[in-house]
């Protein structure tokens, strides 16, 4: 719930402010389900877009700089 605190039709909405928690938890990648109301290839703080398909987007967690 700290990474996806809100939802849209039971699909968690990523909280970009949770990037420190993601890094502390040693999570290296996030797969985020596309929401029909969101545009594709969303850019998020601390995440690098890698790949997508019709349903999912794969991001790599960028280490602190």
| Whether the predicted pLDDT of 21 surpasses 60 | yes
In this prediction, residues 55-64 reach a mean pLDDT of 89
- Is pTM beyond 0.95? Reply is no
Mean pLDDT of 11-37: 84
- Pick the more confident residue, 14 or 18: 18
Which pLDDT belongs to residue 41? 54
Q: What was the pLDDT predicted at 39?
A: 60
Tell whether the model's pLDDT for residue 36 goes beyond 70.
no
Tokens for 10?
């039971």
């Amino acid at each position: 719930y700290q990474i996806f605190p809100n939802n849209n039709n039971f699909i968690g909405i990523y909280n970009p402010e949770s990037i420190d928690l993601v890094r502390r938890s040693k999570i290296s990648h996030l797969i985020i389900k596309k929401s029909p109301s969101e545009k594709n290839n969303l850019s998020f703080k601390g995440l690098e877009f890698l790949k997508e398909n019709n349903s999912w987007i794969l991001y790599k967690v960028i280490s602190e700089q």
